[in-house]
Structure 1
């Protein structure tokens, strides 16, 4: 019966929607729970229905939802229609274009905008707006038009997009060779004691929560990651830092700063939406909650971007202002910090 099902799968016109490889440290876990950790917004019932229909494969064999995933298992979700993100629709979305020529376009992405379509976000993305603005964008290895790098939905700031195949190859190599310049501003919990420093540690998918990234000892898990930082301003219980990326791993700044005990301010996924430093006074709690309302996302902005132009060979550098939501939050902390110092001196 199982062999018949495999034969059917080979003959059906099925499309891969998700593919995950279990790590060496994977503990036995039901495949429905495993996929819930990976697929954002998925429900256990939907995953179980997919398994019942034979749409969940482990090592190319259809499995039931109670199958226990083991280290190095290859888990795939296949369906009879292509992924929504492959059915790209051009949308007339206003884009904040910082620079554009025949080869590249630089965009200042607002917070809340997803970069490319994916599960639960099939429209309203930066890519939907780009393909409306520019015809025939080249696709990268993941079939995503124009993209050579990305930033998270709730991170604001600069992105460069390739308009030609040559620009795509040239820019991709720059990011691979780590020759681009990327500076981020981040507001983090706690007083970062060092004026400047470097955070090193392999970054890989968390074994506890697949929506998070964790930092691991060298060679144990994940990929090498290096973040350089310097303190810009201190506000008693939080610190504004400038981060220079030497590598570009998923959630790199967010994971690295949590690892050293300075989670990003209001970073819900990593626990920064809780009061991690400060007093127990109710007034302080209200103050922080007001800051969260002013800045309803992680306090992270891709402020500066530099790269070599693919055809002219010239270094292009772009810089953006800190967006209003972060600036307004910083101003609140400036006033709070100043009042705290003045009160302590009385």
Structure 2
């Protein structure tokens, strides 16, 4: 993997070819425009591509997936209309492998486990509630975690997602008594100064939509003391 490089607007590009651009999202960035009216990451990437290639007119960019605003890590965009439907298909058919890192204060009940819950989303609160059994309008959520490092006061978990639900990792870890550091919404006792949470989209593997070969991206950890201790 190439070393990520930064640009103005603090855009950190992990990988780029003719069809894809992969960036390392900062905490606080939104992937797509929302009611806040803040400039989304998709627009920052478009501006970067326009300037880099001196493109006249509008730049094509397809949003393939999203990350929660306080979360950091890998976001993949499509640069061509040829690649976008193929990428969408890979994601919808769960033919991508997504690995996250999370820091929690409480030790999980097991050092390695599979969590299965039924998540019910409350749009008003923008929150998902994890239930042990199926409830009306809930969606099955499955993840696999293991403790990969013990810090002085925290445990570093590596999480592989089997389903991609709204706030899935945050909600499921909270349900086993392990809210993510800084995640007030899901039961952590205090927020992080920068309003981030210690959840990082670390790795993404998929078959390239055009070149058809397996490709893996890894997002460097945020430049922050606790994350640095995880390296």
What is the TM-score when the length of structure 2 is the normalising length?
A: 0.84
Kindly provide the CA deviation profile for residues 196-239 of structure 1, in whole angstroms up to 9, marking residues without a partner as x.
111111222138x6221111323533222111101012246532
1:206–1:212: 8 Å Cα contact kept in structure 2? yes
**Are 1:251 and 2:167 matched, yes or no?**
yes
User: In the alignment, which residue of structure 1 is the partner of 2:158?
Assistant: 242
User: In the alignment, which residue of structure 1 is the partner of 2:29?
Assistant: 113
1:93–1:124: 8 Å Cα contact kept in structure 2? no
Q: Tell me the distance in 1 between the aligned counterparts of 2:156 and 2:114.
A: 15
Question: How many angstroms does 1:271 deviate by?
Answer: 2.5
Find the residue that maps to 1:98 and give its secondary structure.
Answer: strand
Q: Tell me the distance in 1 between the aligned counterparts of 2:85 and 2:72.
A: 25
- Structure with greater Cα Rg: 1
User: In the alignment, which residue of structure 1 is the partner of 2:138?
Assistant: 222
Aligned length: 214
**Are 1:305 and 2:204 matched, yes or no?**
yes
What is the TM-score when the length of structure 1 is the normalising length?
A: 0.57
- Structure 2 vs 1, CA of residues 220 and 331 (structure 1 numbering), >3 Å: closer, same or farther? same
Equivalences for 1:1-346 in 2 at 5 Å?
93-120=9-36, 122-134=37-49, 135-137=58-60, 145-206=61-122, 210-216=125-131, 217-218=133-134, 220-235=136-151, 237-274=153-190, 292-293=192-193, 296-325=195-224, 328-329=225-226
User: In the alignment, which residue of structure 2 is the partner of 1:87?
Assistant: none
Q: Tell me the distance in 2 between the aligned counterparts of 1:229 and 1:265.
A: 16
Q: Tell me the distance in 2 between the aligned counterparts of 1:270 and 1:218.
A: 20
Q: Tell me the distance in 2 between the aligned counterparts of 1:170 and 1:151.
A: 20
Question: How many angstroms does 1:270 deviate by?
Answer: 1.6
Q: Looking at secondary structure, tell me which structure has more strand per residue.
A: 2
Higher relative contact order (CA 8 A, sep 6+): 2
- Structure 2 vs 1, CA of residues 332 and 182 (structure 1 numbering), >3 Å: closer, same or farther? closer
Q: Looking at secondary structure, tell me which structure has more helix per residue.
A: 1
Find the residue that maps to 2:157 and give its secondary structure.
Answer: strand
Find the residue that maps to 1:269 and give its secondary structure.
Answer: helix
Question: How many angstroms does 1:331 deviate by?
Answer: 6.5
Kindly provide the CA deviation profile for residues 142-198 of structure 1, in whole angstroms up to 9, marking residues without a partner as x.
xxx511100011111011101122211111111111111111110113111312111
Q: Tell me the distance in 2 between the aligned counterparts of 1:315 and 1:249.
A: 24
Kindly provide the CA deviation profile for residues 269-322 of structure 1, in whole angstroms up to 9, marking residues without a partner as x.
222134xxxxxxxxxxxxxx9xx44x7521101111111111110011011222
CA RMSD of aligned residues (A): 2.3
For structure 2, the residue ranges without an aligned partner over 5 or more in a row are: 1-7, 50-57
